Structure 1
Amino acid sequence: MRFLGLRVERETRSGTSLENPTIPVSAENFLGFFGMQGVDLPAVTTDTALKVPAVMAAVAFLSRTLAAVPKHAYRETAEGPVRVKGKLGTIVHKSPNDQMGAFKFWQFFWQQVFTGGRGLAWIERSRPGAAGIEGMWLLDPTRTTIQRDGVELAYKSGGKTYPGSDVIDVPFMLRANQLSHYGPINLASKAIQLALAMNDYASTFFAGGGVPPLALTGPLPAGADALKRAMADIHRVIDAAKKSAKPVFPLPPGHDLKPVGFDPDKGQMTEARKFQTVEIARAYQLPPVFLQDLERATFTNAEQQDLHLVKHLIGQWTLALEDELNLKLFGRLNPTRYIEHNLDALMRGDFKSRIEGLARGVQSGLLTPNEGRAIENRPNHRNSAADELFMQGATVELGRRATPPVLSGPAPPAEAPSDVGDTNDDAA
């Protein structure tokens, strides 16, 4: 080989060398050059990722929580917002179609968002382009392709094409082309892959009786066949010891067994598995306490994480769905009707705080007693005064003196003027 006028001899390797002469020496082939292949880590798919308890807990918790938050349709009037009932109220709040209730429908919808990265639902209208809504149906994001024709979007699924104005579309995170998306499992695939690898290692380790890989040292027989027979004898002895639950088994004189690889404790596998829970919680922006990671939880910070959940996670995803529902159900130029989640439903488990809040709302004139009873799904009280607003009597407008109460009944008799003092003064 000539290079810049110089003759360079091509490298040759002996046939008896342990090196593989067919693999060039380079950085990307360094392991293969010495006969070692790259690490075969488990593939990450939605099905395999859900086998990681932290991922399964995050997806189940978020999808169920968001599905449990009730949604209502409202119409703006001169007296304020009024809840819409009838067919629209049923579709939004109770059952989007004849085959699914609201919880089951929205749980599947959010499961797709927090696994593959996108939730899709088709709006069934009374006729194409009409405002009347007959129901909503789920679409399979894995079998749906999205195309753009000018500024219009088209969703193709099951041999049908749906216009973008009839599809509820909530992506986890859009890519730069605004068509495809990122999914949380794909984005956190390395962290999930490490968790899967540790799960596989731990299960294999304990399935083998907690015996790590061992190396037999000492005088070994010559020849490949003799070595195989010796190894088979050692394996039988170890297996017999495990089955008989005897901690001691014999070895040939002058031989010893030494562990190969890292001790799981020294390799900090327990700490690493705990850290993977935090990593997966970070990928979903979920406080770790909701993945049952209570190692550092106290009464105070657990309560703060509960507030963090509503303000910085659940509230954001409910707003994303509200935007899609309002735009696709009512149109961009129809501000008088809208869909809104009732986040107060997240307080259903705290009876004391819920009742105290309702009592304060009634006493401060924000709720009538019957409105407070309706929130608790109780019937209206038959007294008409229960539909009136009440306020504490000591509350007055700033700068105004409180009016003395008016006494009912006959006024007390006036006292007769006394002339005793006048007589004394005259006498003096």
Structure 2
Amino acid sequence: MRLWPFSRSTETRSASIENPTVPVSAANFLSFFGVQSGNLPVVTIDSALTVPAVSAAVTFLASSLANLPLHAYRATKDSGERTGGTLQRILNEAPNDEWSSFGWRKYFWSQVFTGGRAFSWIERAGNTVIGIWPMDPASTQVKLVNGRRVYTFGGVKDYPAADVIDVPFLLKRDQLSSYSPIVMGAKAIQLALAMNDYGSNFFAGGGVPPLSLTGPLPTGPDAMKRAQGDIMRSISTARESDSPIFPIPPGYELKQVGFDPDKGQMTEARLFQIQEIARVYNIPPVFLQDLSRGTFANVEQQDLHLIKHLIAQWAKAFEDELNLKLFGAANNRRYVEHSLDGLMRGDFLGRMQAMAMGVQNGLLMPDEARALDNRPADPSGNGARLYMQGAMAPLGTNTYGDQTDAANNGGVDDAGN
């Protein structure tokens, strides 16, 4: 069976860097000049997470998405009605008897933003969902069996696609494997690791930059080694004694080769790496604690960018996957949905102002606004109605005076209404 409408030709590449078919990648470029890229740090998920910017991006995104309230709804004639029961408990409280909802979803999203994919198995009793269990992506293989996607866990257990929640960071062309953000940003992460290693080694050595000895050099290799040893011992003695002064033979001079201690911190380069890693995740740099270019105005805009162009998109991807796998493709009445209002829980003033505007303009009933903060409904029953402020009236009328006259005349105003 042909899977592609074209045949794949054999690719031939030349070893010459002048061949235009050879990509001028970092490895090829360094090798051309005799530098072995094998000396650079190896990027793995564990090593990448030692870079503060990567760790901050993963934990921030995973925690933010796990913090969003996730509710089950039933479609009605006018809108959606939130439902309770087992499914609501599984989604918003505990997917099983071992995991909390926040813990499950944070683990799920941390796999997406590191290895590039996350899986969870849906446990059913007949057609009823009774639990959701996270799966280790490293132990899960995705393959096609008779044209259908099958998930093999641990090499022994097969699950159909209808029972597996699957969210990739970015699918590859074969539609089975996915790209990892760690792999996609490996060069930027590798450079950050190299700068961290250099900085730690630099300051572990007392912050002394590489030096060259100039002057009348001794003749013979043995004499050169003795002179170099004398200088090294002098530097070591000064460093161990916390003395900034050490003697050198007369007629000689030490010159710096490389960075001085201030430049050894590589502040600008390391700030740029934060921005590079932020681009990998499409996250505003301010959420990686980079306020080097932050102002009151652009930080607020970055906050809007986070919600509109990042959190909302991943929330939509998760909702669609849940709706498909929990209810099936033919379902049109039941659905799950995040409440992005959960992101405002830390902004008390903004949350109160938004709810007040909703109540005063007839968008929210008072009881609905109170329920958003888990407050009880109005016992008088007046909170289950929509209200509108009465300060607005058509020009040329005296609505307030008419209402007063009607109240004084037993419900009839001066116009006889």
* Range class of TM-score, shorter chain: 0.7 to 0.9
2:413 equivalent in structure 1: none
Q: CA 1:90–1:259 in structure 2 vs 1: closer, same or farther (change >3 Å)?
A: same
**Which residue of 1 is the match for residue 176 of structure 2?**
179
Question: Whose Rg is larger?
Answer: 1
- Is 1:321 the counterpart of 2:294 in the alignment? no
Q: Offset of 1:271 from its aligned partner? A: 1.5
2:233 counterpart of 1:236: yes
**Identity among equivalent pairs (%):** 56
- Counterpart of 1:415 in structure 2 is none
CA gap of 1:257–1:131, structure 2 versus 1, over 3 A, is same
Contact 1:25/1:33 (CA < 8 Å) preserved in 2? no
Matches within 5 A, 1:286-325: 286-325=283-322
Q: Give the structure 2 partner of residue 92 of structure 1.
A: 91
Given candidates 153, 156, 164, the residue that maps to 2:152 is: 156
**Structure 1 residues 361 and 153, CA gap change in structure 2 (3 angstroms):** same
Pairing 1:125–2:124 present: yes
Q: Shift of residue 393 of structure 1?
A: 2.9
Residue-by-residue CA offset, 1:70-93 (whole Å, 9 max, x unaligned): 100001123532112111000011
Larger deviation: 289-298 or 325-334? 289-298
Are 2:120 and 2:135, in contact at CA under 8 Å, matched by a contact in 1? Answer: yes
Equivalent residue number for residue 368 of structure 1:
365
Q: Specify the code of the residue in structure 2 equivalent to 1:43.
A: V
Match runs of 1:23-422 below 5 Å: 37=36, 40-78=39-77, 80-126=79-125, 130-158=126-154, 159-263=156-260, 269-394=266-391, 404-405=402-403, 407-408=406-407
What SS does the corresponding residue of 1:55 show, helix, strand or coil? helix
- Against the structure 1 CA distance between its residues 118 and 371, is the aligned structure 2 distance closer, same or farther, given a 3 Å change threshold? same
After superposition, the CA RMSD in angstroms is 2.9
Deviates most, 224-233 or 236-245: 224-233
Q: Which moved more, 1:334-343 or 1:80-89?
A: 80-89
TM-score (norm 1): 0.83
Q: Which one-letter code corresponds to 1:335 in the other structure?
A: N
What amino acid sits opposite 2:134 in the alignment? L
Deviates more, 1:87-96 or 1:205-214: 205-214
Structure 2 residue ranges without an equivalent (≥5): 1-14, 19-26, 411-417
Given residue 231 of structure 1, which amino acid in structure 2 is its aligned partner?
A: Q
Separation of aligned partners in 2, 1:367 and 1:131: 35
Any idea what SS the aligned residue of 2:379 has? coil
Name which of structure 1's ranges 214-223 and 171-180 shifts more when overlaid on structure 2.
214-223
SS in 1 for 2:368: helix
Measured after TM superposition, the shift of residue 218 of structure 1 is 3.2
In the TM superposition, what is the alpha-carbon distance from 1:407 to its structure 2 partner?
Answer: 2.3
Match of 2:7 in 1: none
- Separation of aligned partners in 2, 1:252 and 1:151: 79
Residues 70, 342 of structure 1: 8 Å contact kept:
yes
Deviation at 1:230, TM superposition (A): 3.2
Select between 366-375 and 264-273 the one with higher mean Cα deviation: 264-273
Deviates further, 36-45 or 261-270: 261-270
Q: Is the 8 A contact 1:67 1:107 kept in 2?
A: yes
